[in-house]
A = this chain, B = another copy of it.
């Protein structure tokens, strides 16, 4: 394998150096009221405060900043339900590359607008009828643009892993770490970083019950594909775990915790009313799993990734 495609602590540290100029080192928050409800000490890695409003800037900028000047000149293209789109638009702008983003027609308005604000060209598609991968590949073939994978690439995964690198550096005595799982890029990268620094740490993913492709894949021992999920957690609507991410998760993860739509909404409202921070539904899924006590016994200090904060006020008001 190309050594650049191998993911280990060194590649995650290299990613950290590469993305430093564009990605924030986000803060870790705590909440006595959350701890009282959850029955443990929680440490929230606030990627809702990240550039572009989610962790996605880490993987997108690590990928784009790893491209050659020649590759960047042909522009870049990607597909995304929203947060990866914004992240690619920001990183492409910083790298001076033209960006074309394929977004579902029903993506949250705030995400579409924020993506366009960074100069990207938006192409929409029907999430339930068309293949975004096919549209993205077609544009790449026609224009020579490089396709930026949302999760299933070592550079993307290494970039996302910087999230856990920072969290474990800041809070070294965690006994568990949790992240939401869509395609699995965030959790795969974080699991490599966390286990490298802290081999005894316990790792968990969290998924909506309505988007349980990784949960089912764990049960089956192989990648299971489900119909396009309808969960309110719009960032976690992947239909199956990635080819590269899934074996990494199998190696490191203790289990996938499931939460209901109502529990996700309750967690979002908890962050709003008690911590006074805005967390989007996808970003609150791991926290919901802890708040509603889905962790097995023995966890006293849990690191929880709040993966994003891009949610329309109008949607939140319906919770």
Contact = CB atoms under 8 A, between A and B. Distances in A.
Interface of A: 27, 48-49, 53, 110, 269, 272-273, 275-279, 309, 313-314, 316-317, 319
A314 B317 contact: yes
Given A277-B278, A278-B277, A278-B278, A272 B49 contact: no
A317 B110 CA distance: 15
A316 B312 CA distance: 12
Contacts of A309: 276
Most buried by B among A27, A48, A273: A273
A318 to B, nearest CB: 8
Nearest to A309: B276
A270 to B, nearest CB: 11
A29 to B, nearest CB: 8
Determine which residue in A53, A110, A278, A314 has the highest number of CB atoms from chain B within 10 A of its CB, and name it.
Answer: A278
A206 to B, nearest CB: 20
B313 A269 contact: yes
A319 B312 CA distance: 12
Contacts of A277: 276-278
